[in-house]
Amino acid sequence: MDVRRLRNFLTVAELGSISRAAQTLHIAQPALSAQVQLLLRGKLDVAVLFRENVIKGMQATVLVEEDLYAVGVPDCGAQIALRTLARRPMVIPARPNSLRTVLDAACLAEKIELTVRAEVTSPHTMLQLAMAGLGATVLPWSTIADLPESVVPRARIHKPTLTRAIAVAMATDAPLSPALRAVQSLLHETMTTLVATGRWRGARCTVKSGAA
């Protein structure tokens, strides 16, 4: 499994709908459904979720934390402080959204007010608007991995560093069957391999467990 397929799966989790995710990703719905089935077996006893989306009744293990990047910032080098970014016009995700949750929490903690030009639902639209010069946006590297930096300038956000945690979540009442163990193992192996081989840039492996 590659970064794109995992990213597609996470988009389904983010939007809560295969049809909405297919529209956002510009992928045929049957093809996206087939990708999802590679990671899900039977009823939803296990899933890949952003930590902010873990609900009550699920046991979550955070496997990966990925840095967030300012996209559409051609003149700031490899890093940009959040306070500096906030002074630029921005295109940000509309609520509810895990990126927005992380961004809002950081701004609240640092007493920073963003200069919001637009709020949109689709990461693809956010990227297109940033490329068109409407404003900078915030995305993980996995969303822009296929695009050269010369076309889509990006800088890691720091002071503070913004990260998003990705977890494998299981229903607390699900019997730990061999099939469920196999899916859990596959998810763990896929994500850690992508990080270890450098194909998931800006991400780090971590293991943090907890029940919602």
* Coil/strand/helix, residue 177: coil
Q: Quick one: pLDDT at residue 43? A: 56
d(CA 146, CA 19): 23
In tens, the pLDDT along 63-119 reads: 999 999 999 998 888 999 999 999 999 999 998 888 999 999 999 999 999 999 999
Beta strands 58-71 and 203-211, pairing class: antiparallel
Q: What is the pTM of this model?
A: 0.74
Q: Can you tell me the mean pLDDT for 156-174?
A: 90
Q: Indicate whether 131 belongs to any domain.
A: yes
**Residue 90 identity:** M
Which has more confidence, 68 or 193?
Answer: 68
Does residue 38 surpass a pLDDT of 80? Answer: no
Q: Quick one: pLDDT at residue 24? A: 82
Q: Indicate whether 110 belongs to any domain.
A: yes
Residue 176 token pair: 């730990």
d(CA 200, CA 203): 6
Report whether 126 contacts 91 (CB < 8 A).
yes
Q: How many domains does the chain have?
A: 1
Q: Quick one: pLDDT at residue 169? A: 86
The CATH number for 79's domain is 3.40.190.290
Name the β-bridge partners of 204. Answer: 65
Q: Indicate whether 9 belongs to any domain.
A: no
Q: Indicate whether 3 belongs to any domain.
A: no
Q: Indicate whether 16 belongs to any domain.
A: no
H or E element that contains 206: strand 203-211
Q: Quick one: pLDDT at residue 18? A: 81
Confidence grade of residue 149 (pLDDT, cut at 50, 70, 90): confident
Which has more confidence, 107 or 189?
Answer: 107
Burial of 64 (0-12, 13-18, 19+ CB in 10 A): buried
In tens, the pLDDT along 114-142 reads: 999 999 988 889 999 999 999 999 999 88
* Coil/strand/helix, residue 203: strand
The DSSP secondary structure of 65-97, one letter per residue, reads: EEEEEEES-TTSTTEEEHHHHHTSEEEEEPSS-
Task: Give the distance, in angstroms, between the CA of residue 206 and the centroid of all CA atoms in the same chain.
Answer: 16
Range of the domain at 81: 70-163
User: Which runs of consecutive H residues, i.e. helices, occur in 98-177?
Assistant: 98-110, 123-131, 141-144
Per-residue DSSP letter, 53 = G
Q: Mean pLDDT across the chain, nearest whole number?
A: 85
Q: Indicate whether 190 belongs to any domain.
A: no
Q: Can you tell me the mean pLDDT for 153-182?
A: 87
In tens, the pLDDT along 1-32 reads: 455 676 777 777 666 678 878 888 888 888 88
Q: Indicate whether 120 belongs to any domain.
A: yes
* Coil/strand/helix, residue 59: strand
Q: Indicate whether 101 belongs to any domain.
A: yes
Sign of CA dihedral 170, 19, 39, 126: negative
